[in-house]
Structure 1
Amino acid sequence: MQIELLSYTNLNICSHAIRTCWQSFEKGDNGGEKDKELIDKVGNKFKHASTLEHLNYTFYIQGISRACLQELARHRMASLSVKSSRYTLKELKEEESFLPFCEDNLKRAEKFIVFTSNQAVNEASMYALESLRKLLVTNISNDLAKFAMPESYKTELTWSINARSLQNFLALRSSKAALWEIRDLALKIFDTLPQEHQFIFSAVLSDA
């Protein structure tokens, strides 16, 4: 998977929001160490997490499975714009058969499906991919054919989320109990954050 941070809110917006409550603007340093300390104290230590909602992040996420997307969609306080299967399945229709199982076909299939550590599951995904391709070749409409898409089928999306909701996402999905793919996604999203923002989230990452 690939993660790109498209945009993010400057820290001084969050510190300004916090200082609005006490009208203490003169104590700010435009997102510097004083403001970071204030954000950590009020937003994290004092649990006034609503102040963190002034910070927003937009990511471009590529190469995750539809299974991972379904888990991601459970995080309600976020906006998702997802690659349309209606308009993009034609890329699969133009491919040759993915069978039999061989190294070249596996490499071609990686463009379309996420492989796991289980060979039997991977083979089932390959058969499902080939079945989907055959449906498309017979000119069945994409709207119907997409019902045969395997959960391993790759997709991509633009994802926007505020810092408070992102804390919740990282806390839940960085756990070893989470689906392995969304755990990888959570850790990579944290790594993609600007270094000066990571203090907001580092404490919520799970070691479990």
Structure 2
Amino acid sequence: MKVTLKHYTPLEVCSMAIRTCWQSFEKSDNGGQKDLALIDRVGNKNKHASTLEHLYYNFYIQGISRACLQELARHRMASYSVKSSRYTLKEIKEETSFLPINQTNLTRAQKYLVFTPNESVNIASIKALENLREILCANIGNDIAKYAMPESYKTELHWSINARSLQNFLELRTSRQALWEIQKLAHNIYNSLPKEHQFIFEEKITQPYEKQ
């Protein structure tokens, strides 16, 4: 899994939006400690979280499973541009067999699959990957063949989300009740944020990430 922050809104956009409400522009210190404290007080402590919607973040997320993508897509106040199975499944068609299951083929399969902590599940995923490869080699179209894709199949996307929705995402998905993979994703997203932005989100981190 790899998370890259591609773009983000400067904090002064949020502080100036807040100051618009009171016409208190003369109190701004041009993005200094006064403006940061204003964002924290109004957006977090006073719960006027709509002001945080002026802050947007765009992430390039690579190497998550389709299962994790389904969990991520439940967060509807965001924009998604996802790697297309219609146009990219040819990458499997060009591979040789992933069987028998040995160290070499495990390594090859890991290019396409997210492995879980359970060996039996991982073996089943590799067999499903081989089934998919055989279907594609039989010249079955991608739109039909993709129904045989395992949930562990890796994908990638660009994801844009505002700060208010990102707070909600981090609060829910850093919980130990969340899917283990999206817990990891949530912590990687938080860690990829600029240090000067993390104060907006740090209280939403439910639990430290525990590797599984």
Range of TM-score over shorter length: over 0.9
Please give the per-residue CA displacement for 1:131-163, whole angstroms capped at 9, x wherever unaligned. Answer: 000000011000000000000000000000000
Distance in 1 separating the partners of 2:39 and 2:110: 42
- Quote how far apart the aligned CAs of 1:98 are: 0.3
Equivalent in the alignment of 2:81: 81
Aligned residue for 1:139, secondary structure, equals coil
Equivalent in the alignment of 1:194: 194
Equivalent in the alignment of 2:205: 205
Distance in 2 separating the partners of 1:170 and 1:66: 19
Distance in 2 separating the partners of 1:82 and 1:118: 27
Equivalent in the alignment of 2:55: 55
Equivalent in the alignment of 2:32: 32
Distance in 1 separating the partners of 2:200 and 2:150: 37
Equivalent in the alignment of 2:69: 69
1:45 aligns with 2:45: yes
Superposed counterparts of 1:108-127, under 5 Å: 108-127=108-127
Aligned residue for 1:81, secondary structure, equals strand
Equivalent in the alignment of 1:105: 105
Superposed counterparts of 1:109-148, under 5 Å: 109-148=109-148
1:17 aligns with 2:17: yes
In structure 2, give the amino acid aligned to 1:155: T
Please give the per-residue CA displacement for 1:56-87, whole angstroms capped at 9, x wherever unaligned. Answer: 00000000000000000000100000000000
Aligned residue for 2:117, secondary structure, equals coil
- Quote how far apart the aligned CAs of 1:202 are: 0.1
Q: RMSD of aligned C-alpha atoms? A: 0.7
Aligned residue for 1:197, secondary structure, equals helix
Aligned residue for 1:176, secondary structure, equals coil
- Quote how far apart the aligned CAs of 1:30 are: 2.1
In structure 2, give the amino acid aligned to 1:190: Y
Equivalent in the alignment of 2:184: 184
In structure 1, give the amino acid aligned to 2:158: T
Aligned residue for 1:76, secondary structure, equals coil
Aligned residue for 1:13, secondary structure, equals helix
Percent of residue pairs identical? 70
- Deviation larger for 159-168 or 25-34: 25-34
Please give the per-residue CA displacement for 1:32-76, whole angstroms capped at 9, x wherever unaligned. Answer: 211110000000000000000000000000000000000000001
**Count of residues in correspondence between the two structures:** 208
Unaligned 5+ residue runs, structure 1?
none
Distance in 2 separating the partners of 1:52 and 1:39: 8
- Quote how far apart the aligned CAs of 1:31 are: 1.8
Distance in 1 separating the partners of 2:188 and 2:145: 32
Unaligned 5+ residue runs, structure 2?
none
